Structure 1
């Protein structure tokens, strides 16, 4: 525990880089919007609809758009507690899809007593998605820049992409921040006729939960932040904590290889084997297994590994992929060759969704020039001698270079004062929403937060064992918090019934897409 606290205390962000939190007054009740429910095309026994909200909540007279919503009614209306809102990760995940798949996420008791509801965050899916030229998205340079010329090229590319996406998307492009989505969620609450919300948000969806609780504390019944964001971090703190998490996840994979004979690198020095692969990739000696004309970079390998770390079920497949990269031969049974394809994944469509703008309006992570970027790389390499860096940290910070300021939802320390404390749940070895973020967010919540630590691996706690499931669902049903310092033991991967969705960063896809 001391090393986590030390890491956080050494990464305090300069206050000049953020907007200070202010005391939050309860917002006025929005006028209820009408929802015309119809059967969902995918699951007709559930309800789908839309609500109309302003493009810009600060200037509601400036135009509106429709937000997609969904509802699964409680199976026992007489025992109904209220609504349980599901917050999607991403950015780019779908709250509507979470509702449609809710029967496999929650116990019959939760489904019996709650209407399960969700919305697609503005700028995504059924809520006026951000659209960009597919061809331009596939031209994205690799985020691992090597010179000032690369840096200038990336800034110029980002501007071209922003201009293209804004032209195709319209005015909403500049108003897809999570703070605006929190206002959409409160409009949805009013339209449902509910006084309070219960909430389960996963990964990037926890930012929506944090912002809602901060703005509307009296409308919070029970909020779960599962695998939480820390919206107080500046550039260095964000990069360093993410990089620490990537290395920690690699260390856990290497330890599994040491103890499990199924790992194809069992009996070897796994870290030396890995470093050798990256060095060969640096020299241009590696290629896609079975495709000798398609080179593989060290960034691609690290990125693929990070995606595998999202779920320990993937460790065996990652071991197979590394063995295939070593020999250059495709075994036919490697299941992790998602992004190492013979060509960038393109679409026959002229436009493709690109929700990364949401992150760029939620996080300001300035990097002045290549010299500063190279300094970040050197520091991250010391934190992560095997992984070198966090691919997520590189993708997000680089993709937002040149974003005009000020952004509408800059980082700040949480100022939440709710009657019922929020439950923060996090895996000890989460490669994306890293454990130090959970410590930081819980510390900021103070009396309005309580941390549940899952001592295992992977991203998203719900679904990783009976202990975590029971604590999360008991809290949602009864508002009963676990004891301070509550921990759930790690569950061997073979015994986990995972409910998390594939959320690996995907090189080769438009915009080097990623998802928390």
Structure 2
């Protein structure tokens, strides 16, 4: 994939940051009349020549261990069909050969490259023809891995109101390990919109408790338009994309809106009929088809981030089929698209400040320093290709991606320090690659996340006016310069009208457990409280900590309470907090 097209896709992601959404009402200033908003106080820029050392990264490798690990990952990926081209990682190893392998920053690069290689080498191969659904509508599962993973495909109507044309939904599963203890099906979704459940399942399954694995067929799927399900791709965008990403005049705003319209037109030409049916209401109907095809009276479900929107929608439409739903990283669907983007910018800024306090002597002011530096020049990468430079957008995404988990904070500290003190953007670029689904082996993108993201979001949410959208962008970028976003106006030009989810509710007594983290930068705690307030029978379980989502992420308090709910449908007491 050419660099301009690759960066076009990444730039589109930045208007709302992959995967994952935000709240309304963070107590911040939003200026809608075009006047200048006050800046939040920014920390002083550090002296990058005198930055203290950071603690050594958790994973240290010898050069021999690194090379052997990469070779093994390539072999594994080739064997299971996940790797057909490894030219990019070969180039990275070649460039690293002459580096100082005892240098702490180089150690982090080696550990990151090897970790990405190991993960991507185990991605499920393309689901074979033998996994297609049977004629009677039941699922015909077929092996698609050497660890018990099975895959299948299900035909569903493109348009549920006018059945005719069908599309394929691809699924994978691990069967319950103890048939005598089997309760039913536990369906999982990683979020997005645009996240692949097919790719998500193997890693997620590895983190589940033995009791959950014994008791459930653990299943996931690629939602319509995503991944291995019949995917949706926008076509090439006509005309020049050389427009000011931070428009300050009416003429510049008009040019920016026109370019957004060209992207929307390209999506319409690629498949306007598909665009009409990419919303979460259709995904919920697909989930109902999956339940029926699996022969289950009810299903259990764990949805993360955007996956909580799928869960809320299903509970709203099919409450009697809900056995036990866990919605972790709860998003609020009762706002406009621009309000989501605007509020998330503020939430990530707050998370950055919490992160900076964890390594204050090194980290304070580094992100702001790099933001200023990138106004004049990009930061090259020493160990990737010449196209893997870091600009303001890549800095934004690279930082945001690392803030999703407090476990990633040491990585972020090294990424910022290396970019500032050594003018090396490798770690930030790798953070972007990991977030956007770029293959460490070939350099190609393994998902259509940016196109499907827009297709779902523009269907699910109402939009603010163009004037308000531009005013919000000016205000946000002044308040939070590290996370300065391009104006979020794509949905204003979208060729299909929205069908907003709105304020979703479900009947009293529907077994839904909401999990929300106090320091979540992507779906902050206020969102969980908002959804709980309009669904009084739902229980809100609070995780007092940092990072995006909590279940199956190492917190025994959260895991124990969620597992008990899934196994026994017994929710914790309202007001329960896990610290």
- For Structure 1 versus Structure 2, the TM-score category normalised by the shorter chain is 0.7 to 0.9
Q: Show the counterpart of 1:468.
A: 558
Q: Show the counterpart of 1:377.
A: 473
Cα deviation, 1:90-115, whole Å, max 9, x if unaligned, reads 11112233334443131110010111
Is the alpha carbon distance of 1:331 and 1:81 closer, same or farther for their aligned partners in structure 2, counting shifts above 3 Å? closer
CA contact (8 A) 2:550 2:558 kept: yes
Q: Show the counterpart of 1:430.
A: 520
Query: SS at 1:287's partner residue?
Result: coil
Cα deviation, 1:209-264, whole Å, max 9, x if unaligned, reads 00000001111111000111110012564244312311220111111012xxxx63
CA contact (8 A) 2:419 2:425 kept: no
Equivalent residue in structure 2 for 1:275, among 358, 362, 368: 368
Is the alpha carbon distance of 1:138 and 1:337 closer, same or farther for their aligned partners in structure 2, counting shifts above 3 Å? farther
Is the alpha carbon distance of 1:458 and 1:140 closer, same or farther for their aligned partners in structure 2, counting shifts above 3 Å? farther
Q: Show the counterpart of 2:540.
A: 451
In the TM superposition, 1:81-480 aligns within 5 A as 81-133=183-235, 144-169=246-271, 171-235=273-337, 237-258=339-360, 264-265=362-363, 270-271=364-365, 273-282=366-375, 284-288=376-380, 290=382, 296-327=390-421, 329-330=423-424, 334=427, 337-339=430-432, 354-356=451-453, 357-369=455-467, 372-381=468-477, 384-385=479-480, 387=482, 389=484, 391=485, 397-404=488-495, 406-408=497-499, 410-447=500-537, 449-462=538-551, 463-480=553-570
List alignment gaps of at least 5 residues for structure 2. Answer: 1-21, 31-134
Q: Give 1:67 deviation, angstroms.
A: 1.1
Cα deviation, 1:331-364, whole Å, max 9, x if unaligned, reads 97x46544499xxx89779x96621211211122
CA contact (8 A) 2:338 2:469 kept: no
Rounded Cα–Cα distance in structure 1 between residues aligned with 2:29 and 2:425: 44
Cα deviation, 1:112-141, whole Å, max 9, x if unaligned, reads 011112221110112210023468799696
Q: Give 1:50 deviation, angstroms.
A: 1.5
Q: Give 1:5 deviation, angstroms.
A: 12
Equivalent residue in structure 2 for 1:74, among 176, 196, 206: 176
Q: Show the counterpart of 1:495.
A: none
Is the alpha carbon distance of 1:228 and 1:293 closer, same or farther for their aligned partners in structure 2, counting shifts above 3 Å? closer
Rounded Cα–Cα distance in structure 1 between residues aligned with 2:297 and 2:433: 49
Q: Show the counterpart of 1:51.
A: 154
Q: Give 1:323 deviation, angstroms.
A: 2.5
CA contact (8 A) 1:67 1:119 kept: yes
421-430 or 98-107, larger mean C-alpha shift: 98-107
CA contact (8 A) 1:56 1:175 kept: yes
Rounded Cα–Cα distance in structure 1 between residues aligned with 2:281 and 2:29: 25
Rounded Cα–Cα distance in structure 2 between residues aligned with 1:215 and 1:81: 23
Rounded Cα–Cα distance in structure 2 between residues aligned with 1:473 and 1:137: 53
Q: Give 1:378 deviation, angstroms.
A: 4.2
Rounded Cα–Cα distance in structure 2 between residues aligned with 1:33 and 1:452: 41
Rounded Cα–Cα distance in structure 2 between residues aligned with 1:293 and 1:193: 50
List alignment gaps of at least 5 residues for structure 1. Answer: 13-31, 490-516
Structure holding more strand per residue:
1
Q: Give 1:185 deviation, angstroms.
A: 0.6
Is the alpha carbon distance of 1:6 and 1:411 closer, same or farther for their aligned partners in structure 2, counting shifts above 3 Å? closer
CA contact (8 A) 2:143 2:150 kept: yes
Q: Give 1:53 deviation, angstroms.
A: 1.2
Count residues in correspondence.
443
Cα deviation, 1:340-395, whole Å, max 9, x if unaligned, reads 99xxx89779x9662121121112223314xx34421343357x556455x5xx57
Is the alpha carbon distance of 1:335 and 1:313 closer, same or farther for their aligned partners in structure 2, counting shifts above 3 Å? farther
Is the alpha carbon distance of 1:469 and 1:295 closer, same or farther for their aligned partners in structure 2, counting shifts above 3 Å? closer
CA contact (8 A) 1:218 1:418 kept: no
